[in-house]
Structure 1
Amino acid sequence: MFLFRKRPEMPDPADTLPGRPNPIPTAERHFVNGHPLKGPYPEGFERIVLGLGCFWGTERKFWQLPRGVFVTAVGYAGGTTPNPTYEEVCSGMTGHNEVVLVVHDPAELTLEAVLKTFFENHDPTQGMRQGNDVGTQYRSGIYTLDAEQAAVAERVRAAYGEALRARGFGAITTEIKPLETFYFAEDYHQQYLAKNPAGYCGVGGTGVTCPIGTGIAA
């Protein structure tokens, strides 16, 4: 994953790759907990899609949370190419981001707590990169399913931005956009670091605590 060094600007939608009409094959169940990647999910559980760098390492951050996460999956979102492959996303010509789908029980793990994990486990001030991983697919992004999620994301982003500024960091570059489509990544990417414990993980936080999100709902 770290071998790709792509241009750090978004492509014009008119120039993006055409993709394909059908989804690419992926796993049916989570390699770690056995839950179905594509559902059905338990009633009342919520979904959020997050981009915070190389999705191998970022997915692990969420499935390792002690409570409240039903399933995680890696995929692509935020661009225009339908049903992209990993190689196409890495070309920089899809507009897509490497993202993680998190399905969680809001009674045990609030959206604020999910976003606390999100912000504390990457540097959201780096633009189109995370550390040595450079390219549009490594940008910081929150892709929301409704206006309520967007409002929470805006509030947490603002609070974390203030905490970062107090520690000398620059402005947050995290994009917050409505989710158009989440495309599941190929089977071998799903729960990659559980299948390959010595695999690459370029994820690292700033060391600044997010002031919103206690982890467990009251």
Structure 2
Amino acid sequence: MFFTRQKSRMIGPAEALPGRSSPIPTAERHFVNGNALKGPYPAGFETAIFALGCYWGAERKFWAVPGVWVTAVGNAGGFTPNPSYEEVCSGLTGHTESVLVVYDPAKVSYEALLKVFFESHDPTQGLRQGNDVGSQYRSAIYWTSPAQRDAALSGKATYEDALKAKGFGPITTEIAEAEPFYFAETHHQQYLAKNPGGYCGLGGTGVSCPIGTGVAA
């Protein structure tokens, strides 16, 4: 995922590409477990959105977690409606490559998902992740409920203390309320299940995140 037009700064709404009114076509079902990508999801299940670099590898971190019903890759946190992959890679949409995670809170807690999120990448790198440089690779958590917001802020503070003790800088993870999640094109969905030898640029810090051991009551 290297592109010559990558942008290493955040744009504003006035700079964003216009996008389109219709969604980009995507897969109907998850390549690994067969569940519907866009739902309907089982009653009582919850949705989380994480961005931690190239979404090919990021999605794989979550679909195998017990209690996760379905995952999908797409784009969040930007301005351009229904962006294409190429548009997001230009840095002119404001989006970051993201993973939608639908999960059963009776089987896996949001805090446990946060632990997977923080330990699967380096959240101190700003507008990049490893060799993938650009605002589309920034670290982000988009919360879908006040409880998620509070857990994300608390988890960030807890992990930042653990990282600081090991010599890392401040966490740069963006934490914001979830806005529209735009599903990516079909061939990006569960990419590493379809292409086991495909590119994955994720690498964690090696520092354990001391959160996320329980499930919801």
**Partner-residue secondary structure (3-state), 2:60:** helix
- Please tell me whether the aligned partners of residues 5 and 135 of structure 1 are also in contact (alpha carbons under 8 angstroms): no
**Which aligned segments of 4 or more residues in structure 1 are displaced greater than 6 angstroms?**
none
Cα separation, 1, equivalents of 2:16 and 2:216: 42
Query: CA distance change for structure 1 residues 13 and 200 in 2, over 3 Å: closer, same or farther?
Result: same
C-alpha displacement at 1:133, in angstroms?
Answer: 0.2
- Please tell me whether the aligned partners of residues 5 and 133 of structure 1 are also in contact (alpha carbons under 8 angstroms): no
When normalised by structure 1's length, the TM-score is 0.97
Deviations 1:69-100 (A, max 9, x none): 00000000000000000000000000000000
Equivalent runs, 1:94-173 vs 2, <5 Å: 94-173=93-172
Please list every run of 5 or more consecutive structure 2 residues that lacks an aligned counterpart in the other structure. Answer: none
Cα separation, 1, equivalents of 2:105 and 2:162: 25
C-alpha displacement at 1:148, in angstroms?
Answer: 1.6
- Please tell me whether the aligned partners of residues 5 and 91 of structure 2 are also in contact (alpha carbons under 8 angstroms): no
What is aligned with 1:64? 64
Cα separation, 2, equivalents of 1:4 and 1:179: 29
When normalised by structure 2's length, the TM-score is 0.97
- Please tell me whether the aligned partners of residues 121 and 203 of structure 2 are also in contact (alpha carbons under 8 angstroms): yes
Cα separation, 2, equivalents of 1:194 and 1:184: 18
Equivalent runs, 1:21-100 vs 2, <5 Å: 21-65=21-65, 67-100=66-99
Give, as a single letter, the amino acid of the residue that structure 2 aligns with 1:26.
T
What is aligned with 2:209? 210
C-alpha displacement at 1:48, in angstroms?
Answer: 0.5
Cα separation, 1, equivalents of 2:79 and 2:207: 33
C-alpha displacement at 1:182, in angstroms?
Answer: 0.3
Give, as a single letter, the amino acid of the residue that structure 1 aligns with 2:19.
G
Deviations 1:167-211 (A, max 9, x none): 100000001001110000000000000001110000110000111
Q: Alignment RMSD, CA only?
A: 1.1
